[in-house]
Amino acid sequence: MYRTHTCGELRLQHKGTGVTLAGWVQRIRNLGGMTFIDLRDRYGITQLVINDSASAEIKDAASRLGREFVIQATGAVTERLSKNNKIPTGDVEITVTALHVLNAAETPPFTIEDESDGGEELRARFRYLDLRRNPLRRALELRHQMAREVRSYLDSQQFLEIETPFLIKSTPEGARDFVVPSRMNPGEFYALPQSPQTFKQLLMVSGYDRYFQIVRCFRDEDLRADRQPEFTQIDCEMAFVEREDVLRTFEGLAKHLFKTVLRKELTASFPRMSYADAMQYYGSDKPDIRFDMRIANLTGALKGKGFAVFDSAAYIGGICVEGGATYTRKQLDELTEWVKRPQIGAKGLAYVRLTAEGVKSSIDKFYTPDELQQAAAAFPAREGDLLLILSGDAKKTLDALGALRIEMGNRLGLRRNDVFAPLWVYDFPLLEWDGETQRFYAMHHPFTAPKPDDLDKFYTNDNALLAQVNANAYDFVLNGVEIGGGSIRIYDAKVQQRMFEVLGFSKEEAAYKFGFIINAFKYGAPPHGGIAFGFDRWCALFGGQETIRDYIAFPKNNAGRDVMLDAPSKIDGAQLKELQLMSGERSTSTEEG
């Protein structure tokens, strides 16, 4: 037996017990003839002591130990003279009577401490060592707990966990597919699923009316910060449901996770907001509602008063920073530079300070104090507040105001990671026009149902009307992060065919790519809908972290590389030949004859 206890387990009550522990050497100290070793495993740290009376053999073994050696130690649990109240085992130590080195270790390239001295790149190359550190261990433990509670809740709601294939057919769902060449079908490729979307809908047709899966998804996107080419979803689908049923069920899941993982009891219903309101009041389809600071439309109040910049703008809007009137000129200049950064793209920033001495503003040459007070009433703002105003094209200005609002929330400490503000956003547009390719794309995906009230518009060929069609789609937003998204689906083959037509697919193309699902809908498809949650991101948010990388055991870096494996990598000529991917090497002989 390698061990009788773990390194996190022993307490004063074990005093006198003979035990054997195994683990990694965290630290070694020599103090006046005694050697103290901190022995670590996943569960904690226990102090070993080798005192003067230990055998020569033990002393010799101890003298040759180094950090991260794997050892086994036997001895009696003794009460420590100087207790360490920072660790749960801090009242005891093991007086060692036998010591075995199970495996020596080279000096690790960085310290295995909560605050390691290793840089990100180095730690990524030695991920298996980084995973020994407490912050990562805690992250993986939280992830495990989340997965367990997801299963427990969904099981209690009659959901079946069903696996779907990874080698599938390339289907457009927004992002690019990763493809896998088929050796047995030269020149043909599988695609890795961006999500199990079509399979879960087919399972509804098959009668499995509540499905879920904690499943890996693959998207070959240009990697923006904190995206992974493979990530995990909690993927769910239900039959015989309307939007309300889906929202209620998954609000239940969220509350269950809050309660069991974070010990937070959320009793009130989650707030809901239409996409249109989210855009106009928060400049975002995923508003962070931990703080208010809503955007007000000031176009009516400020346009047409002789200030050329505003008069030529389609939209003028602003946010009100409570108590911000004390902002100095320097701070305001710095904010102006901030909104002019290319990522934000504003041309300039106008401000109005509501001070006890009256209205002070960057635009008071063009507006009377009364006119500015009128604009301030739109928020409503009070004495002591600061208005920050942007103008221009409506969509771009709202986006910029949304970003400015988040920035101000950060600067004012209004986005605490231990405060949680869940939100449902619903009624997204069904379609998005792409000027470059001159066609509509599905905003969510092509299987999302139009709202019944908009069906007339859905059947016109007028692009302006089509652009107004709303989808029966919803997102789950937590602290300004989109954690989940789903929709009520199309389940009528003809409506599905019309959708593909609107998306610019010919009948033949639609049949080639999606024939299987259109056909399935002809054999008794029930009304259905569902949702999928970004599991990695949800874990990170619950862990109070912004990046998902620590919540994935073996993640890729920002360039999509696994620097530990050094993947992706070249494959050799023989492999390429076998797959018939080498140019000019395509075999013409058919060996199967």
List interacting residues with ligand ASP (CB under 6 A). 195, 197, 445, 485-487, 530-532
Instruction: Identify the three-state secondary structure at position 401.
Output: helix
Do residues 21 and 92 make contact, with C-beta atoms less than 8 angstroms apart?
no
Q: Which two tokens stand for residue 51?
A: 């005192």
What's the closest the beta carbon of residue 435 comes to ligand ASP, in angstroms? Answer: 24
Do residues 538 and 146 make contact, with C-beta atoms less than 8 angstroms apart?
yes
What's the closest the beta carbon of residue 213 comes to ligand ASP, in angstroms? Answer: 11
Measured from the CB atom, is 164 or 197 closer to ligand ASP?
Answer: 197
Do residues 471 and 430 make contact, with C-beta atoms less than 8 angstroms apart?
yes
What's the closest the beta carbon of residue 233 comes to ligand ASP, in angstroms? Answer: 6
What's the closest the beta carbon of residue 487 comes to ligand ASP, in angstroms? Answer: 5
What's the closest the beta carbon of residue 445 comes to ligand ASP, in angstroms? Answer: 6
What's the closest the beta carbon of residue 219 comes to ligand ASP, in angstroms? Answer: 9
Contacts of residue 170, Cβ cutoff 8 Å, sequence gap at least 6: 177, 179, 189, 191
Nearest to 192 by CA among 224, 219, 231: 219
What's the closest the beta carbon of residue 431 comes to ligand ASP, in angstroms? Answer: 16
Measured from the CB atom, is 211 or 282 closer to ligand ASP?
Answer: 211
Q: Which helix (H) or strand (E) holds 327?
A: none
Measured from the CB atom, is 14 or 219 closer to ligand ASP?
Answer: 219
What's the closest the beta carbon of residue 489 comes to ligand ASP, in angstroms? Answer: 8
| 3-state class percentages of the chain: helix first, strand second, coil last, to nearest 5 | 30, 25, 45
Cis ω before 109 (30° cut-off from 0): no
Q: Which two tokens stand for residue 164?
A: 């779907």
Measured from the CB atom, is 44 or 530 closer to ligand ASP?
Answer: 530
What's the closest the beta carbon of residue 196 comes to ligand ASP, in angstroms? Answer: 7
Measured from the CB atom, is 358 or 526 closer to ligand ASP?
Answer: 526
Measured from the CB atom, is 75 or 530 closer to ligand ASP?
Answer: 530
What's the closest the beta carbon of residue 139 comes to ligand ASP, in angstroms? Answer: 23
Measured from the CB atom, is 229 or 485 closer to ligand ASP?
Answer: 485
What's the closest the beta carbon of residue 429 comes to ligand ASP, in angstroms? Answer: 15
In DSSP terms, 73 is beta-bridged to: 21, 99
Distance, in Å, from the CA atom of 160 to the CA atom of 208, rounded to the nearest integer, reads 8
What is the CA angle 469-473-475, rounded to 5? 135
Distance, in Å, from the CA atom of 376 to the CA atom of 119, rounded to the nearest integer, reads 48
Measured from the CB atom, is 133 or 445 closer to ligand ASP?
Answer: 445
Do residues 432 and 441 make contact, with C-beta atoms less than 8 angstroms apart?
yes
What's the closest the beta carbon of residue 62 comes to ligand ASP, in angstroms? Answer: 55
- The string of DSSP codes covering 516-554 is HHHHHGGGTPPPEEEEEEEHHHHHHHHTT-S-SGGGSSS
Q: Which two tokens stand for residue 465?
A: 């009307």
Distance, in Å, from the CA atom of 26 to the CA atom of 192, rounded to the nearest integer, reads 42
Instruction: Tell me which long-range contacts 329-334 makes (C-beta under 8 A, separation of at least 24).
Output: 332/362
Measured from the CB atom, is 195 or 479 closer to ligand ASP?
Answer: 195
Q: Which two tokens stand for residue 384?
A: 């002591």
Measured from the CB atom, is 450 or 485 closer to ligand ASP?
Answer: 485
Measured from the CB atom, is 106 or 222 closer to ligand ASP?
Answer: 222
The residue ranges of DSSP E strands in 104-243, in sequence order, are: 160-161, 179-181, 189-191, 210-218, 230-239
Contacts of residue 106, Cβ cutoff 8 Å, sequence gap at least 6: none
What's the closest the beta carbon of residue 214 comes to ligand ASP, in angstroms? Answer: 13
What are the residue ranges of helices labelled H in 263-392? 275-282, 299-302, 308-311, 329-340, 369-377
Q: What is the Cα gyration radius of the chain? A: 30
Measured from the CB atom, is 169 or 396 closer to ligand ASP?
Answer: 169
Overall residue count recorded for the chain in this entry: 593
Measured from the CB atom, is 246 or 389 closer to ligand ASP?
Answer: 246
DSSP 270: P
Do residues 203 and 228 make contact, with C-beta atoms less than 8 angstroms apart?
no
